[in-house]
């Protein structure tokens, strides 16, 4: 590891950046330097602008990757190198707002049935049953399952925040079966060949996508799809937005409110102005 990379990592640790953010920022700076085939400290703000345009025009990168890369390079130049670069001239992009993809109850049930083994079934059910992010699932320890209070303790989720989630009785039954068979000691879902290490986010994404294909779900499915499905189904069942916000660990209620747009129950309950218009008229004799 170079001294420059070590310093950037230390700068991020001092600001309590999450491990995922640290990895993303380091990867972004390394890819930036590789593009120009120079050390990043030999580059400047004009190279940043050129590189961001390259991401959009040639690599067709997403707006989220664009913004993440911009933030990573801004941190590197402004904090790690201490250079007063004018990043206000490189605008942040406004990401298009898209509705979340949600699985039906039948699709979820098929995924649980066709899971490759009991461990993967328990993982999928925990993702959905707790509305967890992939990183939160991989960080779960066996001790975080509180069967006495019927709670799941999420430690240091996004934004370094703890929260608790209701533990469904059916999920507890599956987790007990899983524990009896696999006997995890520390991490709830350890790696198969390295039991002292937790599964990686990449492992979880791969398992979810593979199981969805096996279940006959044709559209792309990620761990976040199960999380979106949890929130939407909870809203369909009569949950209020404030409670769902707390359970999901959202900082702002507007983040949670997007599920109003995909809730089938809310859509069905909304009257149609066209039907109301004709309902108020006396039918012709």
Q: How far apart are CA 74 and CA 76, in angstroms?
A: 5
Q: What is the DSSP string of 12-53?
A: HHHTT--HHHHHHHHHHHHHHHHHHTS-GGG--HHHHHHHHH
Contacts (Cβ under 8 Å, ≥6 apart) of 265:
235, 236, 237, 238
Cα–Cα nearest to 203, from 216, 189, 214: 189
Count CB-CB contacts under 10 A for residue 18.
15
The CATH number assigned to the domain with range 105-268 reads: 1.10.443.10
63: exposed, middle or buried (Cβ count in 10 Å: 0-12, 13-18, 19+): middle
φ/ψ (deg, to 5) at 251? -75, -40
Show which residues are catalytic: 133, 158, 224, 227, 250, 259
- Yes or no: say if 128 and 140 are a contact pair by the CB < 8 Å rule: no
CATH class of 3-89: mainly alpha
Any idea where the domains of the chain sit in the sequence?
Answer: 3-89, 105-268
Q: Which helix (H) or strand (E) holds 228?
A: helix 223-236
247: exposed, middle or buried (Cβ count in 10 Å: 0-12, 13-18, 19+): buried
**pTM tops 0.75:** no
Q: How far apart are CA 164 and CA 152, in angstroms?
A: 6
Tell me whether the CATH fold assigned to 3-89 matches the one assigned to 105-268. no
Max CA separation in the chain (angstroms): 88
Question: How do the pLDDT tens digits run along the chain, 285 residues long?
Answer: 789 999 999 999 999 888 888 999 999 999 999 999 999 988 888 898 899 999 989 998 888 899 999 999 999 998 998 887 666 666 677 766 777 889 999 999 999 999 999 999 999 999 999 999 999 999 999 999 999 999 999 987 676 778 898 999 999 999 999 999 999 989 999 998 888 889 999 999 999 999 999 999 999 999 999 999 998 998 888 888 888 888 888 888 888 888 877 777 776 776 777 677 677 666 555
* Size of the chain, expressed as the number of residues it contains: 285
């Amino acid at each position: 590891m170079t001294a420059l990379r070590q310093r950037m990592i230390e700068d991020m640790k001092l600001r309590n950046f999450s491990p995922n953010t640290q990895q993303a920022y380091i990867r972004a700076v390394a890819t930036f330097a590789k593009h120009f085939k120079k050390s990043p400290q030999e580059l400047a703000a004009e190279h940043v602008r050129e590189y961001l345009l390259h991401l959009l025009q040639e690599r067709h990168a997403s707006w989220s990757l664009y913004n993440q890369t911009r933030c990573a390079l801004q941190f590197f130049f402004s904090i790690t190198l201490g250079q007063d670069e004018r990043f206000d001239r490189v605008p942040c992009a406004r990401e298009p707002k898209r509705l979340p993809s949600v699985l039906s109850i039948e699709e979820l049930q098929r995924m649980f049935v066709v899971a490759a083994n009991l461990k993967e079934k328990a993982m999928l059910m925990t993702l959905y049953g707790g509305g967890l992010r992939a990183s939160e699932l991989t960080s779960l320890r066996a001790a975080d399952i509180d069967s006495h209070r019927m709670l799941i303790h999420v430690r240091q989720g996004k934004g370094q925040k703890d929260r608790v989630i209701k533990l469904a009785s059916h999920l507890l039954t599956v987790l007990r079966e899983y524990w009896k068979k696999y006997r995890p000691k520390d991490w709830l879902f350890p790696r198969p060949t390295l039991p002292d290490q937790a599964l990686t986010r990449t492992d979880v994404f791969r398992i979810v996508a593979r199981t969805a294909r096996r279940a006959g779900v044709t559209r792309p499915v990620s761990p976040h799809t199960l999380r979106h499905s949890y929130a939407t189904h909870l809203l369909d069942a009569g949950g209020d937005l404030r409670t769902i916000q707390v359970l999901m660990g959202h900082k702002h209620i507007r983040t949670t409110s997007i599920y109003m747009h995909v809730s089938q129950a809310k859509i069905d309950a909304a009257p149609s102005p066209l039907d109301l218009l004709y309902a108020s008229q006396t039918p012709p004799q």
